[in-house]
């Protein structure tokens, strides 16, 4: 029985050596309001125009998956509130949402922020509310411990953010699709945490039909730094197109899961060295979580920024980096596809049926039971099903299947002949690979 690595033990927290962390604190425990203020937090909101200018110049990109420019989203929400986009003429009300659901199994950075730096997140939400002129904010999450820490932080503040919007915490059951932005909006409005059709996107008509800024918790956590130090200092780390630092949840067989704060653009080889994994051990990686599929060992030549990874046909996504070392990539892909089969919201026929079919074909391949016909079908599905679901889950499954077939032909051929040395005895496919369990952090 092959064991796909699933993290256990504590989560190690490591800032990039030689740099002052912007988001991480290494002492453990939950930062109090007093400690946060002592570090310069909750500054009075000054000129919104000046803050908007710094945000624009900073090039801050979203940390929830797509790397979308934050300033563009802010402009969209402000435009939506003025121009109407479905709202009554002259309407100015907007909503802000801190998305901390973190459905991605290989990621633990949002829950870490919510549990350990709740005031940093709330301060970021407060600044985002100022940027879009909002008086209503939500912290959207599923982790009970994160909900407890945010609730306690709000109590410390007497229930209200300084110069900030009214805040409510909305807790849902965890799920891969629950963190998708339209699922978040629907859940906050009292419905199921499942994606809805787009358009409209939340910036046009979100919570209660109002223009809504849905931003990832880590994206928001960058705003207090930007507010205090400005865009030039923010850009002192990172690359021109991926400025600043990012949180990376790194998992690898035989190593404790680790949360790093890294400068964008860091060579992947440097991360391997930092994590204590020899390049010769590396077979590939899942970068950005499950969404963008598998990379082979040439990932070691890449840099960790949006532009490089996109060129390589992958993405930085939410910063989750699962190193494939001891595991067979075919078994990893089958595990991920089975996860999508279980976790899709069952709303779109092509996704419901497509993920089930791809998972079944990949499982048969992993177990040495597939033939050339199955492979041919898997390849075809990975192409024709792309773009046919309401959210990105079906695309994620297509990415997984396509990248396995494209980047691991030797391993796939070995499975067709039932000759994979790693999978003798049958692979373990019944759980999500590289899942970082919530209990490890406490
Ligand atoms: C299937 C799916 C799941 C998603 N899950 C999350 C999530 O758990 N957390 C998150 O912040 N964004 C998630 N997203 C992205 C959100 O839809 C949205 O783009 C994001 O919250 C925006 O924040 P950002 O601009 O700060 O990245 C998901 C997207 C998809 C397609
Ligand atoms: S694409 Fe899949 S996960 Fe997304 S809404 Fe449709 S059925 Fe649900």
The answer to whether the CB of 121 falls within 8 A of the CB of 220 is: yes
pLDDT score recorded for residue 111: 97
* Residue identifier of the C-alpha nearest atom 4 of ligand 2: 391
Strands in 42-135 per DSSP E = 95-100
Å from CA of 290 to ligand 1 middle: 13
Sort 390 into a burial class: Cβ within 10 Å, 0-12 / 13-18 / 19+: buried
Q: Which residues of 406-422 are buried (b: 16+ CB within 10 A; e: fewer)?
A: ebbeebbebbbeeebeb
- Residue list, ligand 1 pocket, CB within 6 Å: 62-66, 68, 73, 99, 101-104, 176-177, 179-181, 214-216, 219, 391-393
Å from CA of 124 to ligand 2 middle: 30
Å from CA of 347 to ligand 2 middle: 5
DSSP 266: E
Sort 27 into a burial class: Cβ within 10 Å, 0-12 / 13-18 / 19+: exposed
pLDDT score recorded for residue 87: 47
The answer to whether the CB of 117 falls within 8 A of the CB of 239 is: no
The answer to whether the CB of 385 falls within 8 A of the CB of 350 is: yes
Q: Which ligand is nearest to the CA of 394?
A: 2
pLDDT of 218-261, one tens digit each? Answer: 999 999 999 999 999 999 999 999 999 999 999 999 899 999 99
pLDDT score recorded for residue 210: 95
What angle in degrees, to the nearest 10, is found between the helix axes of 118-132 and 109-116? 100
Cα angle 109, 111, 116 (rounded to 5 degrees) comes to: 95
Å from CA of 292 to ligand 1 middle: 14
* Residue identifier of the C-alpha nearest atom 7 of ligand 1: 179
The answer to whether the CB of 282 falls within 8 A of the CB of 324 is: yes
DSSP 307: H
Helices (H) then strands (E): counts for the chain: 16, 12
Mean pLDDT, rounded, of the chain: 92
CA distance 260 to 332: 23
- Give me the half-sphere count of Cα atoms (radius 13 Å) on the Cβ side of residue 343: 27
CA distance 98 to 122: 8
CA distance 114 to 129: 18
Å from CA of 419 to ligand 1 middle: 39
CA distance 121 to 317: 20
DSSP, residue by residue, 270-299: HHHHHHT--GGG--EEEETTTTT-EEEGGG
Q: Which residues of 166-182 are buried (b: 16+ CB within 10 A; e: fewer)?
A: ebebbbbebbbbbbbbb
Å from CA of 426 to ligand 1 middle: 34
Q: Which ligand is nearest to the CA of 196?
A: 2
Q: Measure the N-to-C terminal CA separation of the chain; round to a whole number of Å.
A: 30
The answer to whether the CB of 232 falls within 8 A of the CB of 102 is: no
- What SS3 class is residue 154? helix
pLDDT score recorded for residue 441: 57
Q: Which atom belonging to ligand 2 lies closest to the Cα atom of 388?
A: 1
* Residue identifier of the C-alpha nearest atom 3 of ligand 2: 344
pLDDT score recorded for residue 426: 62
pLDDT score recorded for residue 229: 97
Å from CA of 86 to ligand 2 middle: 25
Cα angle 405, 410, 412 (rounded to 5 degrees) comes to: 45
The answer to whether the CB of 141 falls within 8 A of the CB of 100 is: yes
Q: Which atom belonging to ligand 1 lies closest to the Cα atom of 183?
A: 17
* Residue identifier of the C-alpha nearest atom 4 of ligand 1: 180
Kindly list the averaged pLDDT for each block of 10 residues, start to end, along the chain of length 442. 47 89 91 97 94 97 96 92 50 90 96 97 97 96 97 94 92 96 98 94 95 98 98 98 98 93 97 96 95 95 97 94 94 95 90 95 93 95 93 94 97 92 69 79 54
* pTM of the predicted model as reported, rounded to 2 decimal places: 0.94
Q: Can you give the length of the chain in residues? A: 442
pLDDT score recorded for residue 2: 45
The answer to whether the CB of 247 falls within 8 A of the CB of 3 is: no
The answer to whether the CB of 243 falls within 8 A of the CB of 59 is: yes
DSSP 44: P
Q: Are β-strands 245-252 and 12-15 bridged in parallel, bridged antiparallel, or unpaired?
A: unpaired
């Amino acid at each position: 029985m092959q064991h796909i690595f699933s993290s256990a033990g504590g989560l190690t927290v490591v800032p990039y050596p030689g740099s002052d962390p912007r988001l991480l604190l290494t002492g453990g425990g939950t930062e109090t309001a007093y400690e946060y203020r002592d570090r310069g937090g909750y500054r009075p909101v000054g000129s919104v125009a000046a803050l908007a200018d710094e945000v624009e110049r900073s090039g801050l990109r979203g940390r929830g998956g797509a790397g979308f420019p934050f300033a563009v989203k802010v402009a969209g929400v402000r435009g939506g509130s003025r121009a109407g986009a479905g709202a009554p003429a002259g309407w100015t009300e907007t909503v802000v949402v801190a998305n901390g659901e973190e459905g991605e199994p290989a990621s633990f950075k949002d829950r870490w922020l919510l549990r350990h730096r709740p005031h940093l997140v709330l301060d970021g939400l407060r600044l985002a509310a100022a940027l879009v002129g909002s008086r209503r904010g939500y912290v959207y999450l599923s982790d009970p411990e994160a909900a407890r820490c945010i609730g306690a932080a709000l109590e410390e503040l007497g229930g209200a953010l300084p110069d900030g919007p009214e805040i409510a915490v909305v807790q849902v059951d965890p799920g891969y699709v629950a963190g998708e932005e339209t699922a978040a909006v629907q859940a906050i409005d009292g419905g199921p945490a499942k994606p809805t059709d787009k358009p409209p996107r939340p910036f046009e008509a979100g919570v209660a039909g109002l223009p809504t800024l849905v931003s990832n918790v880590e994206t928001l956590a960058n705003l207090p730094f930007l507010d205090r130090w400005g865009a030039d200092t923010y850009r002192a780390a990172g690359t021109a197109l991926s400025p600043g630092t990012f949180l990376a949840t790194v998992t690898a067989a035989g190593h404790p899961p680790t949360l790093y704060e890294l400068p964008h653009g860091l060579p992947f080889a440097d991360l391997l060295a930092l994590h204590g994994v020899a390049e010769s051990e590396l077979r590939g990686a899942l970068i950005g979580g499950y969404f963008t599929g598998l990379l082979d060992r040439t990932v070691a030549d890449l840099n960790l920024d949006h532009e490089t990874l996109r060129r390589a046909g992958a993405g930085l996504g939410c910063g989750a980096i699962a190193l494939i070392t001891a595991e067979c990539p075919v078994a990893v892909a089958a595990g991920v596809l089975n996860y999508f089969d279980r976790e899709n919201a069952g709303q779109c026929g092509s996704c419901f049926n497509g993920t089930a079919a791809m998972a079944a074909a990949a499982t048969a391949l992993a177990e040495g039971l597939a033939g050339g016909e199955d492979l041919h079908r898997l390849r075809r599905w990975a192409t024709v099903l792309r773009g046919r679901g309401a959210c990105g889950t079906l695309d994620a499954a297509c990415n997984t299947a396509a990248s396995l077939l494209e980047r691991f032909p030797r391993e796939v051929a070995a499975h067709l002949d039932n000759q994979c040395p790693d999978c003798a005895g049958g692979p373990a496919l019944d759980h999500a690979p590289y899942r970082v369990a919530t209990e490890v952090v406490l």
